[in-house]
Amino acid sequence: MAEASRTSEAHRDAVFARWVIFSPARSRRPTDLKSHGPANPSPGPDDGAPKPSCPFCLGRESECAPEIFRVPAPDESPSWRIRVIENLFPALRREAAPPAPEDEEPVGAGECAVRGFGFHDVVIETPHHEVRLWDLEAEGVRDVLLAYARRVQQLAEHPAVKYVQVFKNQGASAGASMAHSHSQMLGTPFVPPSVTSRLNCMKEVFERSGKCSLCAVVSKDILVSETHNFSAFVPFAASYPFEIWIVPRQHSSYFHETDQDKVLDLAGLLKSMLQKLCKQLNDSPFNYMIHSAPFGLSSSCLPYTHWFLQIVPQLSVIGGFEIGSGCHINPVFPEDAAKILREIDGSV
């Protein structure tokens, strides 16, 4: 369809049950959607020296919250490649007593309050301040993903933890308070409402069609790249311009159960997608989230639960319509975004 004839459309997805309005009139050409900040806020080669105010740098480990585990360097110099530590300013606290149903404190009609128990951890992805995740070799990205999986597995063994959200905030406007490349995870004693909504939507699709929402064949129009084990595509109802989902091609409910060979495949594809977004969007801030299944699901739920990784570039400000309605307005049709991203070099 020629760009001049494109009119607004509303798409509803089969995973989040969200409506998204695609309105090309809300912007000029899709290629004009770029971050206007500097391409690299910390330019210059990394000399290996710690930065004066960065506790995540090599040699400043004592300034951080307690370490949970580390991935050592093969040659012991530097002494580590990845560190998983407690968050110094946690949203939930591991030392709090886990809530029990009888502990719920009534606040009002349908409302309750419980103690803020949970786990809030940080994954320091590299000892070097200037190195970004996608600057690492695929094996380095794999090791970061394996560190996620190892920590998620540890948290899954805690009887009070029901869900773990793994996420990365890259850039100040995406919520990162530290420039040094890192990601986080929050283990909660409840299943977050958006997770429940996602599973309910996928259940409805499965009961109606007999198919998992994410196992369906991805249209070539929205496919960006694929490997033997994973597909990367712009979702049919992308809430954000140039949003990408990376999805296992074989049905899988839990991210942390992915075997090491497949994790290397995922790492190469994730690196490629982040490189493509960096080049197309002028190093735009972004978030990514790993959407996995809650712990302890019954076997009857597994056929329609399918984990995936969502990458969201931060290119616009959420306005009143989006906040009030829960519907997003996206100026770039998914097939247009996918075509642009396919044509950008970002080899796996």
Q: Any idea what DSSP says for residue 341?
A: H
Q: Is this structure's pTM higher than 0.85?
A: yes
Q: Kindly report the CA angle at 232 between 180 and 297, in degrees rounded to 5?
A: 85
- Residue-level pLDDT, tens digit, the chain, 348 residues: 444 567 899 999 999 999 999 998 766 555 556 655 544 444 334 455 567 789 999 999 999 999 999 999 887 666 899 999 999 999 999 999 888 766 666 666 667 777 899 999 999 999 999 999 999 999 999 999 999 999 999 999 999 999 999 999 999 989 998 999 999 999 999 999 999 999 999 999 999 999 999 998 789 999 999 999 999 999 999 999 999 999 999 999 999 999 989 999 999 999 999 999 999 999 999 999 999 999 999 999 999 999 999 999 999 888 999 999 989 999 999 999 999 999 998 665
Is 180 known to sit in a ligand binding site? yes
Cα separation of 254 and 120, whole Å?
Answer: 20
Tokens of 21: 């309005």
54 assigned ligand-binding residue = yes
Given the residues 182, 256, 291, 328, the one annotated as active site: 182
What are the structural domains of the chain?
9-29+55-100+114-343 (3.30.428.10)
Q: Nearest-CA neighbor of 241 among 323, 171, 328?
A: 328
Would you call 182 a catalytic residue per the annotation? yes
| β-pair type (223-226, 230-233) | antiparallel
Strands 328-330 and 19-22: parallel
C-beta neighbour count of 28 within 10 angstroms: 10
User: What residues contact residue 25 under an 8 Å CB cut-off, 6+ apart?
Assistant: 8, 331
CB–CB of 328/21 below 8 Å? Answer: yes
By CB neighbour count within 10 A (0-12 exposed, 13-18 middle, 19+ buried), where does 26 fall?
A: middle
Longest Cα–Cα distance of the chain, Å, equals 61
